[in-house]
Amino acid sequence: MVNKTFLKISLLLVELTSIPLLILMSIYIITAYGMLNPKFIGLITGLNYVTSLRIHTDSLLRITCVILTMTHSYGGLTLLITRRVRNRKIASTIIMLMTLIIATLTSIYLIAEATK
Q: What is the pLDDT along the chain (116 residues), one digit of tens a residue?
A: 568 898 999 999 999 999 999 999 999 999 999 999 999 999 999 999 999 999 999 999 999 999 999 999 999 999 999 999 999 999 999 999 999 999 999 999 999 999 97
74 in Cβ contact with 6 (< 8 Å): no
- For Cα atoms 71, 35, 53, give the angle at the middle one, nearest 5 degrees: 60
What one-character-per-residue DSSP string does the chain give? ---HHHHHHHHHHHHHHHHHHHHHHHHHHHHHHHHHSHHHHHHHH---HHHHHHHHT-HHHHHHHHHHHHHHHHHHHHHHHHHH---HHHHHHHHHHHHHHHHHHHHHHHHHHHT-
Domain region containing 75: 4-114
Domains: count for the chain: 1
Separation between Cα atoms, residue 21 and residue 99, nearest integer Å: 20
pTM: 0.86
Residue 56: CB atoms within 10 Å: 19
